[in-house]
Amino acid sequence: MTIRKWDHLPYQSVNHYLKTAYGVKVYKASVNGGFTCPTRDGTKGIGGCIFCSGEGAGECAGSREDSITTQMELEIQRLIHSHHAEKFIAYFQAFTNTYAPVEELRRKYQEALQDPRVVILDVGTRPDCLEEPVIALLQEIAKTHEVWVELGLQTIHEDTARRIHRGYDLSCYDDAMARLSAAGIKAVVHLIFGLPGETKAMMLDSVRYVAASGAWGVKFHLMHVLRDTVLAEQYAAEQFSLLTEEAYLEVVVDAIRWLPPDMVIHRLTAEAPRDILIAPDWCIYKRQVLNHLHKKLKSLQAYQGEFYRQT
């Protein structure tokens, strides 16, 4: 396999992808579309995934009390002020952002894309909430804006999926991925390393599966424990242990090895607001974690072209 060098790193980062595609760094404006989730509203469950906070993974998104227009304006002004940002991604982050009638989705997505500086629509959702009319809507929007669909798969292992109350099985992911690929829509798949009961080999099984599934990008998260979640109760009862930073980085390094060189990596670790994070402490220092990861990659002679495994 031929190694490709991206930004002097042995993987294609999303920032490199965006700079190449748009000429500048493109920033995420996170909005809350006011949706819920089938594992929260009683359709498939009421408590959500065991690790999910009351914000539905949208701790950094805007307020659902504000209109989409207001949220986007506030986010854009904040990013211009803090980063001199010029182009933006409308990121529907909180809860399941395709879980509504298609006309409601159309109205909310179009509201978020009004500003010509918004060049990408990014929709966080679940494979079981991607009916054909929704995919057709995304395909229509893809004629004028780049569209990303983020899927919270987390693991390919059915026992773990049941344990975390994910609410759909792997065949549902396969079906959604096949339909997104056929529609030409870029899918970004989320995996969590360190889920209760999973070994490193199981985590890498998930990575290999996703790498071969047609996904365009991946996000790697570590299992962290947030306040007021079922996971927090299980952690307090010592029902599982969390990965150390060293163990997490070992998984990430091996995971990168199994990805196609042009697969876009959108995230290598997870962050959480300090006020709701219970553990692990080390993940608060994201910059430090990434520095440690890059040191590890260097020490593996990643930059000399000996990094990727033959598959």
Question: Which stretches of the chain bind ligand SF4, using CB under 6 A?
Answer: 37, 39-40, 48-49, 52, 56-57, 95-96, 126, 152
Closest distance to ligand SF4 from the beta carbon of 48 (Å): 3
Reading the block at residue 217, the tokens are: 């990008």
Q: Are 308 and 20 in contact, with CB atoms under 8 Å apart?
A: no
Number of H helices, E strands in the chain: 10, 10
Rounded Cα–Cα distance for residues 288 and 171 (Å):
38
- Considering beta carbons, is residue 16 or 163 the nearer one to ligand SF4? 163
Pick the closest to residue 37 from 83, 105, 96 (CA basis): 96
- Considering beta carbons, is residue 28 or 190 the nearer one to ligand SF4? 190
The single-letter DSSP state of residue 50 is: T
- Considering beta carbons, is residue 68 or 151 the nearer one to ligand SF4? 151
In 158-285, alpha helices (H): 158-163, 170-182, 200-211, 230-236, 245-258
Which run of H or of E encompasses 20?
helix 14-22
- Considering beta carbons, is residue 57 or 68 the nearer one to ligand SF4? 57
Closest distance to ligand SF4 from the beta carbon of 259 (Å): 23
Closest distance to ligand SF4 from the beta carbon of 96 (Å): 6
Closest distance to ligand SF4 from the beta carbon of 269 (Å): 17
Chain CA centroid to CA 166, Å:
15
Q: Which residues of 92-130 are buried (b: 16+ CB within 10 A; e: fewer)?
A: bbbbbbbbbeeeebbebbebbbeeeebbbbbbbbbbbbb
- Considering beta carbons, is residue 56 or 194 the nearer one to ligand SF4? 56
Closest distance to ligand SF4 from the beta carbon of 301 (Å): 37
Rounded Cα–Cα distance for residues 302 and 151 (Å):
29
CA distances from 291 to 270, 285, 298 (A): 14, 10, 11
Closest distance to ligand SF4 from the beta carbon of 32 (Å): 11
Closest distance to ligand SF4 from the beta carbon of 218 (Å): 17
- Considering beta carbons, is residue 128 or 245 the nearer one to ligand SF4? 128
Rounded Cα–Cα distance for residues 241 and 149 (Å):
31
- Considering beta carbons, is residue 17 or 235 the nearer one to ligand SF4? 235
